[in-house]
Structures are given as structure tokens and as C-alpha cells.
Amino acid sequence: MLSLREVHAYYGHIHALMGIDLDVKDKEIVCLLGANGAGKSTTLKSVMGLVDRLRGEILVRGRSVVGWPSPKVVALGIAMVPEGRRIFPDLTVAENLMMGAYAQKDRKFQNDDKEYVFSTFPTLRERLRQLGGTLSGGEQQMLAIGRALMSHARLLMMDEPSMGLAPIMREEIFQTITTINQRGTSILLVEQNAVLALSVAQRGYVMETGRIVMSGLTGELMANDEISKAYLGKG
């Protein structure tokens, strides 16, 4: 589904990614762990064409997307749920959802995707005329995920979906992530809560200062002493 090979990313003179190799297979959840500033968000933005300079190879379903504008990447089946949700607060829930469908011209797909979103988040159907900015934090996260799903995504990249949410809502969002994956969508998950991330993912990568320093099956990562001490609060 997604392959990064020797990816280097730059913001001006800042060398943010230093030779990243990463894969997400079809219908797989992969988590990306690391401290703030490690390069996790930059990795997602690199796939979406949102960094200043890039070198290396990024393949989506076998096609190179290096140099592509974001709308073209979205049309290929990639969607991103950004850190901090970034919904449009002055637009209604319905309008926010339609913003996610801008690259999808087929009305049947739009209607099907909307019903898929409502089946995933019934609350959003009840809030259609409500302004996005008046929703609770958890509802805004639902809306951000729903907006991404409206693009008919086959790969969903999620940046810190649990940020700022109450524990009960965090559990609900992660259960939803599992459900979305079980319905056939691949997921690349950036998440500070390593326990939650490793509990839903099949594989994971650990980043430090722009580099991948460890990778493996989630069971292997959870059993690793360094990961346990650094991210799981053990030892």
C-alpha cells in the first residue's frame, strides 16, 4: 500500500528526515512511535507532499508520488487526519464532511462514503447542522476522521488521534480505528500513547531525531526493554 525508501525531508535548512524506510501493507495497522520532534508528523506530511524539499522514494500502491501535489495524492486513495483535528469551526458538520469529498466527483461514492461515516459515527448524523466549532473534543475528532473517510481513502494516516481526549473517548476512538481497519482500510498511526497504539497495530516503527531506530511486530516491540522503559512506563 505504502513504501518509503531512503526518504530525506527538509524544512528550509533543517534536515528533518534522514533516510526513512517504512512500509504499510494492505489492510494493516502500523504505528509510528517517538518523542516530540522525532519526525513522525513530518513523515506523514512527506507522503502528502507538504514538505519544502524531499528526496528518496515514496510509493503508493506501486506509484511514485514524490513531487505530487496533495490533491493528487488524495485522489490516489490516501487521506490524513491531522494533529489537533483542524476541522473548519465556522462550517457545519455536513459542510466539513463535504470538504473531505472534494477530490471525489462520483456522487454515488460520495453518498456511499457519507453513509459509511454515519454508520461509523452515528453522532455526526445527529449534528449535521451544528457548527464544527461547537462540538466537543471527541466529536471534533470523529468529524476529522469522518472528513478523511469522505475521500474514499484506502490508507488513512492519523496524527495523534487521542490528543486532548478523555480516557473514555480515547478508548472509543481506538475501537473505531480497529473497526475501520477491519472494514478494509490500511492505517498508519502516529500516537504518543504507545500502549494504545501498540494494542491495535500489527507492526510498529520507533523514530528518534529523524531516523527509524527500531521496527518489528508489536509483540516484539512491547517485549523490548528499551521500548518498555521509554514508552510503556515499565522498568
The answer to whether the CB of 147 falls within 8 A of the CB of 100 is: yes
Residues in Cβ contact with 144 at an 8 Å cutoff, skipping those fewer than 6 apart: 81, 82, 85, 86, 87
Residue 60 maps to a domain: yes
Residues in Cβ contact with 13 at an 8 Å cutoff, skipping those fewer than 6 apart: none
Which three three-digit cell numbers place residue 144? 476529522
What's the mean pLDDT in 101-118?
A: 76
Lowest mean pLDDT among 62-71, 90-99, 139-148, 220-229: 220-229
Which helix (H) or strand (E) covers residue 145, if one does? helix 137-149
Instruction: Write phi, then psi, for 66 (nearest 5 degrees).
Output: -60, 125
214: domain CATH number?
3.40.50.300
Give the 3-state secondary structure of residue 221. Answer: helix
**Sheet containing strand 203-208, strands side by side:** 78-81, 155-159, 186-190, 29-34, 203-208, 211-217
Using alpha carbons, select from 48, 31, 49 the residue that is nearest to residue 40: 31
Which three three-digit cell numbers place residue 129? 447542522
Residue 214 maps to a domain: yes
Residue 216 to residue 227: CA distance in whole angstroms: 12
pLDDT tens by residue, 130-177 = 999 999 999 999 999 999 999 888 999 999 998 888 889 989 999 999
- As for how many domains the chain has, the answer is 1
Residue 37 maps to a domain: yes
Give me Rg for the CA atoms of the chain: 17
Residue 143 maps to a domain: no
pLDDT tens by residue, 122-131 = 999 999 999 9
Residue 203 maps to a domain: yes
Question: What is the maximum alpha-carbon separation in the chain?
Answer: 54
Q: Check pLDDT > 80 for residue 233.
A: no
Q: Check pLDDT > 70 for residue 104.
A: no
Q: Check pLDDT > 60 for residue 235.
A: no
Residue 201 maps to a domain: yes
Residue 168 maps to a domain: no
DSSP 92: B
Residue 180 maps to a domain: no
Position of cell 465556522?
A: 90
**How many of the other CB atoms lie within 10 Å of CB of 230?**
17
What's the mean pLDDT in 66-79?
A: 92
pLDDT tens by residue, 10-33 = 998 899 999 999 999 999 999 999
Could you tell me the residue range of the domain that residue 21 belongs to? 1-74+185-235
| Average pLDDT value for the chain | 91
Question: What's this model's pTM, rounded to 2 decimal places?
Answer: 0.91
